[in-house]
Structure 1
Amino acid sequence: MQFGVLGPLQLRSATGDEVAVSGPRPRALLVLLLLDAGRVVSIDQLIAGQYGDDPPAGATNALQAQVSRLRRDLPDGLVEFHGSGYRLAVDPDDVDVHRFERLVREGHRLLAAGAHAKAVTTLHEALDLWRGQPLADLPNAEAQATRLEEARLAAREDLVEAELALPEGTNVAELRRLVDEHPLRERLRGQLMRALQQAGRQAEALEEYEAARRLLADELGVDPSPELAAIHLAILRAEGAAKPTRRALPAQLTTFVGRDAELERLADLPRLVTLVGPGGTGKTRLAIEVARRDGREVCFADLAPLHDDDEDQLAATVLAALGLREAGFQPAGVEPVRRLAAALDDNLLLVLDNCEQVIAAAAGIVRTLLDECPDLHVIATSREPLGLTGETLLPLEPLAADNAVRLFEDRAAAVRPGYAPGQHHAEVAQLCAALDGLPLAIELAAARLREFDVHELATRLDEHGRFRLLSRGDRTAAARHQTLTAVIEWSWDLLTNEQRQLASRFAVFAGGASLAAVEAVCDVPDADVLLADLVDKSIVRSDGSRYEMLETIRLFCAERLTEEVRRAHARYYLSLAQQADPYLRRAEQLDWLATLTAEHDNLMTALRYAATHDQETETGYRMVAALAAYLWLSGRRSQAGAAAATLLEHEPEDLDEEYVACVVHAIPTAAPEHWERAKAIMRSFDRPLEHPFGAAIWGMTAGPPDEDDAETPALLGSDPWNAALGRLSTALFQLLDGRPAAGERELVEVAATFQSLGERWGSAQALDFLAQAAGWRGEWQRAHGYWATALRAFEELGALEECADLLCHRGNAFLRQGELDAATEDFARAAEFSVKAGSGIPPAVPLGLANVARCRDDPEAVRERLAEASAAVEAGSFRFASMRAQVFTALGRHAEAVAAARTSPFAADVADATEGLAGEVVAAGEGDRAALLLGVAVALRGTAVAGDPQVARVTEEARGLIGAGAFAVAYARGAELDKERALTVVDGSTR
């Protein structure tokens, strides 16, 4: 974790997420521990830090309570007790104040050693850690805060000293602001005088000395120090040399954020490095930062105004940047390129910015200069490489997520007074991701905080389009950097007509594409060559096997897309889905799942287009059916829901199987008339399904069929996977309808069949129910072995909803074992899987947690969890009768539970509800009838369930009422009944 106290208390996890600490006292306690990170802080010190010299009575107990609250907010084991005090077990370098002090010491050492460029980098890093008032959450911290502010000011002075030793000098305006804030600080005043002298402003430097002399005399009655007087004398004696005219690096008005990896790579600068990337990625800013840190003499030449690919004109531009007149240093008639080579100093760093529109001329001149000037180094920025031997390419990717957020918040704080960094971290991170991490786009977005808050900005970015929203930039910036549209148009204008055609068609791919897909969909000659050109020009990116556009560039190009290309895209991905579907039921399923996952964005884009714009071709219906197995196995079922619902608005002819697929995928749930038609279709099938996984999906969503609606062999056909699916259905009926031994034997064979096919989903389903059967008998080791194997298979597939179901089953088993912590963990993980799948938290999760709370004798938690489960059931978010019955049982609504269970085709569901009813009966003092009902439950299920705490309680109470012998007789009487008579007893008990 990372901790910050140089401003409001801030905690971030290893993933960058902010961690909240509730309450002012626990926050103050954490600050005290952070100030001595890694060391034991005595209880007396902590009390004094919290309450000052006059702590209240009971301060020690209060401190212990604060420690407990703090531990709840932090990872386990972070706050340690050591007898006399507490220790925060973190590395001091993970705390900004300790890192600041270490960097300041290192910067001071580098300054003393003459390593000025490194000192500047180190001190900048130290000062960038500050976010506001230090120790803001700690009361009575005035002395410590003052000490830190003094250290910060001293670090600023060291930074200025190091900058004054570098060619580009320091920021005079910022230095003058510091002097105004600290007018009696003579070191700062002297540094300002030296900076003014370096800028050729000797008169202003001398005026600063006079102002300081008067102030010191008036305020303190003293003369300037010998050091300040010496600087004054040196300025008086300085000769009036001509001010250098070489064009230095452009001054930057904002802080530099991110690019640590790039800066590290360029710490040892090659002779020629070209920074390449799309517009707006920050190539110019990085080039300036690299040059600033390098330490060589620098000349900066902006080539953006040039449009003719002419070497002489380019050479003249660089000569002007050097401050030299064309004929003032060489005889007339000498070519400008030769004049330029002769004029360059040894060990110069030449920065050529914006080479892309004069790429040939830039390449020619750089080649000549590097050949003739052996100590010359060149940094070029361009949207495509120069293409020279020995060129080091540094492609600039979008900013990493954390740096993108830092950049936004830095720029936001500058334009919106009171903006608190970190306050909207999640929304800012999402906004930056939507902008592809492009620095220019992020800065343009942050500038709009003058008008909108973060939430409204994110909303408008989506609703109004990024190009319209990000259309107001710095009025003084180059035109191509004032709006997001202009940034991309600059690159677009550099493309040939053929390249533009491919770029506009490529924009149909939402998630990148293979070369084969590009050739098939875009239908342009020499697509492979043109695609390579677009990669070179930073319009398209490639990892060697796939090609993609940044979303911002893609949206710009997509404005030129035609319906013909969109239809071709939908047809191509329908064909891919149909090709993949059979393999998802074979040993190759993981490979094909990976293939479809890589194309997921394209598949969903094609489906949405087909559903809304291409309904005549029925492509959308066919895609839902072909993708059904992939969507379920990869936990993405909900992502096709809206398109499926749209398709149902126009019912097709002769696409019955495809229609059923849309019904079971539609979100929100399809209308009753759609379900009725789908049921009729499933009853009418007299042929094998083209997509057999649809039968499994129908069973999982519509619920088990009635006895007269059971699947027929014709529905599944003779394919081995289909046959195994049919046997799985039969086995589950046997297991859950009172014939567990027969069902278990069948499940063993079914699991073996699926495993022989190399198919994970079916085998995991069988293993999950085998585990439940073993758990009924209390064979815990065998049950957990089955569950572990099944869970691995589901996780390999990414079948999130199946993972959630399994974890709920296992969580209930842990409950019966008395392993409450393990049960809680499984229910929590089940909730995570369900939410990630987009299906919401199933009622089984709060129901399971309610049972955990009941075992822990926590009635308030029981009420809260049962309310959640009841709300989910009453809202109709779960279709199966078994879950409704379980929730009603937990709520004590036993008659309703039995009624719901009686609508289930499975006797095991009625058995569960009957055991709940027995609890109500025994509470009324009817021990004999309770014993009978417990026996009836065993008759219905075909077995007792080991370890059920509620059944154990009812059994004990019934025996207490009627005695062990009478209980055994009544229990046996119920257990010996056949199914029909057992159900009659249950029905009679609810009247």
Structure 2
Amino acid sequence: MRFGILGSLAIHTDDGVPVDPGGPRPRALLTLLLLDAGRPVPVRRLIDGVYGDEPPAGAAGALQSQISRLRRRLAPHAQIEGTPVGYRVVTPPESVDSHTFERLCAEGRAALTAGDPARAAARLREALDLWRGPALPDLPGAPAEAARLTELRLAAVQDRIEADLALGGGPDLVPELRAMPSAHPLSERLYGQLMRALHTAGRPAEALTVYEEARRTLAEQLGTDPSPELSGMHQELLRGRAAPPRRARLPAQLTRFVGRAAELARIATEFEGSRLVTLTGPGGTGKTRLAIEAAGTGGTGADVCFVELAPLTDGTQIPYAVLTALGVRDGFRGAAGDITDRLLTALEHREVLLVLDNCEHLVEDAARTAALLLGACPGVSVLATSREALGITGEVLVPVPPLPPEPAVRLFVDRARAVRPGFEGHARVADICAALDGLPLAIELAAARLRTLDPDELADRLDDRFRLLSRGDRSKAPRHRTLRAVVEWSWELLDDDERELARRLTVFNGGATLDAVEAVCGVPRPEELLASLVEKSFLEFPAYPDPPAHPGALPAARAEGRYRMLETIRAFAAEELTGGDRLRDAHAGYFLELAERAEPHLRTGGQLPWLARLTAEQGNLGAAQRHLTRTDPGVALRLMAALTWFRRLRGLHGEQLPQARALLAAVGDEPPEGLAEEYALCAMNTIAGREDDPAEPDRIARVTAVMESLDHALRLPFTVVEWSLACGPRLGAAGRARVQVGTEPWGLALLDMGVGYQELFAGRAADAEAAFTRSLAGFRATGDRWGMANCLDALGGFAGRHGEYARALRLLDEGLAHVRELEAPEETADLLRTRATVLLHRGDAEEAARHFTRSAALARTAGAGDKVASALRGLGDVARLSGDTARARVRYEKALQRCAANWFSVGETVRILVGLGRTAAAEGDAQAAGDRLAQARALALDSPDVLALADVADALAALAPDPERAAGLLGAATGLRGAPSPGDLDVVRTERDVRARLVPEAYDRAFERGRRLKSAAVGER
């Protein structure tokens, strides 16, 4: 499908058949979506764009209705998808004329900069031919976007005229140019182009008249004189010389420019208020390429002069290099003062953007030259690239960091196609780019290796990156040909003290705080050295944890500022490290102390900053764990124990599993003296809940033996929680748990929580609710958000089953606020799932589905397969209760596949089978329904979770042909739960149907009989 918004909205199928989108509001809505084709547009922006300043009541619902109508009109040729933040039209940007227009304009401008006016003219004409009228006439609520496109159109016209002038045009351009200044009276570029066209047409007197018109207009409307460039053109005409076209003296590029849109925009913005912008960053980030691209866009409106400083060895050569780049090739003899005068003379009346590339090795001389020119030549601006700032007053720094993941992958794929035509990507490409820190040079060198390696082979060999990436472009300077050469260039710019600290910093994994550097590296007051390494782009500061890598993941908490070294630089500096074992010992000792100091705070109201600190240090904590596992397994047990609760809160069990198994193997079959508790925790962390793992029963038995031997208050009372989660609730273990949790408030609150779950699973609902209420009060006193959230989850579930939906949602929302502060994915998934169930039973199926979907995504990030299954079951319930049995069956079957083989999977499996049975019954397949419910009953009768059996009883009641049998099963379900469930839609529907088939007395008798018999009633055939 093709879309046009450069003029009235026009839609055509690929066959050319027009499509009518509807009236003004659908047109405005579709135009907004097309402006961001393929990307989500927030709901708020859509409402503002469609309804303006006076949206209707229930604007979100009205927007959804408009979306639905628009979907029907576009189907089947195009789709509009809902996203967590808004909606997006599923179409590539190139199918929309505005996006194609911007791409063609950029290509034309690049061709003009590269000295190819014929190609530039062709591209720009193709771009301008896309316009059919004013921009976005169907979207009156977006004047800024319409103005932006209109300005781009004017720039494209001017660029096309520039290309035509370069091709020898002149007389034929005069009529067009004559008409334009009246519409754009302040555009000096148009006046200049008209003067050049008139001169080429042999009409110099008229050209001089145009200059006078421009001068008068600028004086009257702006109170300014013409620019030095326009004045210079006027002088040339007075002397009878041809007015030269403006040319950008920039190196032509042979590859496509990828990414850096934010940096390009910032450079353009900074030049609006400054005349010196310096691009800084480590070697290989693409500073030179970015500078060329920024200068080529003509952001300053000046001539461009590119000055390469890398080949120079003496700072006194810089003025000569600038003069040579300007094309001034005489007057180079004489004293230094002469060359300075010559340089100032050449620039004092010109408007020029000087690109000073690679200043770092001559930074002081480059700074002096730049300061001289900026002070004496008001028309000169400087765009410098350097690994450290020039240090001049008025300098604006634009850091050039490594590429983010998405453009890094695009760059790799683009360069890989040059050596492997047709390459469309690979699952390992993102890993390759991440391993190479997103450094463009490293990515390009790696992509070139696809000539002889496949992506898997390339990814597996990146541990030896300097040898692997040793073949570069022969046309490049030696220091840009290989990855090692790039880093060596930076290394040689450091002094001895800086190099030594850089070597020692390689012991850190993921960066370090100032305190950690001082404690581990043995350098007193290292602030100055660290500042110098940052200024020379050898370190980044501040460095924060990376954003979440998976959809639905919670963002990592920010911690205090950190010094971070790119992995490529770290690998290079580590090659020269001496005394590494001593440093690694100090590193492990520092982070063990940090973990043990943090642990008690994780169970208090002050837990958030400590969670943030440990999150930021995950790389270092993992490195310390691995080092201690190799060198001192007993101390390694202490570190793992101190981190276990943190990793539980952050949903990092999957990451901890291989470390725990390696440590358990290093320690052996018996706990070291005085470390039984820590040993038990390590063994718990090795349990993955996999039935197909033959070692799993042995691990569980080992944990149980150690835990049953501990008859005193534990140093880490959360060990009781981990034991229950890993091995399941232990019958008769309540007395031992009372001893193990101790007498501290947190442990006592935890004990009440455990009692609550025991009572709940035993079918004593009132006692369970009372225990959770006591536990909540205890956790409130400690301030622990995890404890409060878990209690609120249970209490919200009780309220929902009572039919108290508003109260349930209030409780669950309070719990969600706590876990979002904690950034705890598993607990957030739990609360969202419970909230979704309440919403579903209240009748809000669409919102419930969104909650279940979000819950599943969070559970996946935490590796909690059963919680993914539970959320998928919830989506099955939504579909089934909405009448979509086909979708419900698919959801339930997917849920069944995700159930893990652990103790708490049984109840979930029962409920999924119940859902499949109800679905089969709704489809009229009584045999399949009976089979599924028989499976569910068999599992539930062997499970200690009576709530699962209660769900089976409810489902059997719905299918029972005998109404008295159905009433008895409903009574059994109520008896098993210990309370009725007036808030459950399935239960309410079944009870209503059964009551309609029995007189009240008969219903009550059968119900009461079932309530007394409970499990026996469910087991009856």
TM-score range, shorter chain: 0.7 to 0.9
Q: Is the 8 A contact 2:71 2:79 kept in 1?
A: no
Deviation at 1:432, TM superposition (A): 4.3
Letter in 1 for 2:889: R
Say if 1:774 and 1:462 are closer, same or farther in 2 by CA, change over 3 A.
farther
The letter for the 2-side match of 1:662 is C
Match of 2:58 in 1: none
Give the partner amino acid of 1:653. Answer: P
Tell me the residue number matched to 1:901.
940
CA positional deviation for 1:886 = 2.5
Residue 345 (structure 1) aligns with:
347
Identify the residue that residue 871 of structure 2 maps to in structure 1. 845
Shift of 1:5: 7.1
Tell me which of 965, 968, 974 is aligned to 2:1001.
965
Q: Map 1:190-589 onto structure 2 (within 5 A).
A: 248-257=249-258, 258=260, 259-268=263-272, 270-292=274-296, 293=298, 294=300, 296=302, 299-307=305-313, 310-315=314-319, 318=322, 329=331, 332=334, 338=340, 341=343, 344-346=346-348, 347=350, 349-367=353-371, 376-400=380-404, 403-404=407-408, 407-408=411-412, 410-412=414-416, 414-418=418-422, 424=425, 431-451=432-452, 456=456, 460=459, 465-543=464-542, 545-561=561-577, 562-589=580-607
Deviations 1:360-409, CA, capped at 9 Å, x for gaps: 44344445555666655444322122333444433322345555455445
Q: Which runs of 5+ in 2 are unaligned?
A: 5-10, 29-69, 132-151, 169-192, 201-239, 543-559, 690-694, 918-930
CA distance in structure 2 between the partners assigned to 1:852 and 1:77 by the alignment? 18
Cα displacement (A) at 1:537: 0.8
How far residue 797 of structure 1 moved from its aligned partner, in angstroms, is 1.2
Q: In the aligned structure 1, how far is the partner of 2:390 from the partner of 2:318?
A: 15
Deviations 1:749-806 (A, max 9, x none): 3212212322211111111111222223222222222112112212221121122223
- Asked if the contact 1:120/1:159 (under 8 Å) is kept, the reply is no
Q: Secondary structure at the match of 2:493?
A: coil
Residues 526-562 of structure 1: per-residue CA shift (max 9 Å, x gap)? 5222111101111001139321123332333344452
Distance 1:897 1:967 in 2: 25
Query: Does structure 1 retain, via aligned residues, the 8 Å contact 2:105–2:124?
Result: no
Q: Are 1:738 and 2:737 counterparts?
A: no
C-alpha contact (below 8 Å) 1:127/1:155 kept by paired residues? no
Q: What is residue 672 of structure 2 aligned with on the other side?
A: 653
What's the CA shift for 1:854? 3.0
For 1:79 and 1:32, the matched residues in 2 are separated by: 24
Distance 1:130 1:697 in 2: 66
Moved more, 727-736 or 882-891: 882-891
Identify which range, 391-400 or 764-773, moves more after superposition: 391-400
Farther off after superposition, 342-351 or 586-595: 342-351
Q: Could you report, residue by residue, the CA deviation over 1:263-320 in whole angstroms, capped at 9, with x for unpaired residues?
A: 313544845443321111222223334444245455544332344xx44455555565
2:709 maps to 684
The 8 Å contact of residues 405 and 429 in structure 1, kept in 2 or not, is answered as yes
Distance 2:1003 2:317 in 1: 106
Q: Which runs of 5+ in 1 are unaligned?
A: 7-23, 42-62, 81-87, 136-151, 171-190, 199-237
The 1-side partners of 2:124 and 2:811 are apart by 54
> SS at 2:510's partner residue?
coil
In the aligned structure 2, how far is the partner of 1:746 from the partner of 1:776?
A: 17
Contact 2:789–2:814 (Cα < 8 Å) also in 1:
yes
Q: Does the residue aligned with 1:832 lie in a helix, a strand or coil?
A: helix
Asked if 2 retains the 8 angstrom alpha-carbon contact of 1:912 and 1:937, the reply is yes
The answer as to whether partners of 2:248 and 2:303 remain within 8 angstroms in 1 is no
- Match of 1:74, SS state, is strand
Q: Do the aligned partners of residues 830 and 501 (structure 1) sit closer, same or farther apart at CA in structure 2, a change above 3 Å counting?
A: same
Out of 861, 886, 889, which is 1:860 matched to?
Answer: 886
Partner secondary structure for residue 356 of structure 2: strand
Amino acid paired to 2:311: P
Matched residue type, 1:522: C
Q: Which residue does the alignment assign to 2:162?
A: 162
Aligned residues of 1:635 and 1:798 also touching (Cα < 8 A): no
C-alpha deviation, 1:678, in angstroms: 0.6
In structure 2, distance between residues paired with 1:647 and 1:550: 29
Task: Summarize deviations over 1:838-887 as a string: whole Å, max 9, x none.
Answer: 334533223333333332343433432332233334x5166343223333
Does the C-alpha gap of structure 1 residues 464 and 584 become closer, same or farther in structure 2, counting only changes over 3 Å? closer
Change (3 A) 1:755 1:462: farther
CA distance in 2, matches of 1:678, 1:946: 41
Instruction: Tell me the CA shift for residue 582 of structure 1.
Output: 0.9
Query: Which whole-Å deviations, capped at 9, do the CAs of 1:641-665 have from their partners, x for residues lacking one?
Result: 2212222223342322223323333
* Equivalent residues of 2:353, 2:383 under 8 A apart: yes
Alignment-derived partner of residue 911 in structure 1: 950
Using the aligned pairs only, state the percent identity.
Answer: 39
Separation in 1, partners of 2:624, 2:1001:
70
What is the letter of the counterpart of residue 622 of structure 2? Answer: M
- The structural deviation recorded for 1:503 is 1.3
Deviation, structure 1 residue 447: 3.5
Cα distance between partner residues in 1 of 2:95 and 2:902: 46
Amino acid at match of 2:279: L
1:791 maps to 816
Could you tell me how far 1:120 is from its partner in structure 2? 12
Deviations 1:585-609 (A, max 9, x none): 1111122222222223332333344
TM-score (normalizing by structure 2): 0.71
Q: Distance in 2 between matches of 1:595 and 1:125?
A: 56
Contact kept in structure 2, 1:103 and 1:126, CA below 8 Å? no
1:330–1:339 CA contact under 8 A, matched in 2: no
TM-aligned CA deviation for residue 720 of structure 1:
0.8
- Which residue of the partner structure matches residue 684 of structure 2? 664
TM-score (norm 1): 0.73
Would you say 1:747 and 2:772 are equivalent positions? yes
1:475 shift after superposition: 1.2
User: Aligned pair in 2 of structure 1 residues 73, 428: CA closer, same or farther (>3 Å)?
Assistant: farther
The alpha-carbon distance between structure 1 residues 565 and 719, as it changes in their structure 2 partners (threshold 3 A), is: same
- SS at structure 1 position matched to 2:665: coil
Q: Does 1:756 align with 2:781?
A: yes
Task: Tell me the equivalent position of 1:594.
Answer: 612
Among residues 834, 845, 857, which one is paired with 1:832 in the alignment? 857
Q: 1: distance between equivalents of 2:408 and 2:295? A: 22
In 2, the alpha carbon distance for the partners of 1:949 and 1:845 equals 18
CA contact (8 A) 1:510 1:601 kept: yes
Instruction: Tell me if structure 1 keeps the 8 A contact 2:436–2:568.
Output: yes
CA separation in 2, counterparts of 1:896 and 1:838?
A: 27
CA distances 1:567-592 after superposition (whole Å, capped 9, x unpaired): 33232222211111111111111222
Counterpart AA for 2:331: F
SS in structure 2 of the partner of residue 685 of structure 1:
coil
Map 1:976-987 onto structure 2 (within 5 A): 976=1012, 982-983=1014-1015, 986=1018
Cα distance between partner residues in 1 of 2:1002 and 2:633: 72
Q: Is the 8 A contact 1:100 1:126 kept in 2?
A: no
CA apart distance, 1:673: 0.8
Contact 1:812 1:848 in 2 (8 A): yes
CA distance in 2, matches of 1:247, 1:731: 76
Instruction: Give the AA of the match of 2:528.
Output: V
Aligned to 1:603: 621
Task: Give the corresponding residue for 2:907.
Answer: 882
- Of 620, 625, 631, which residue of structure 1 is paired with 2:641? 625
**1: distance between equivalents of 2:882 and 2:12?**
30
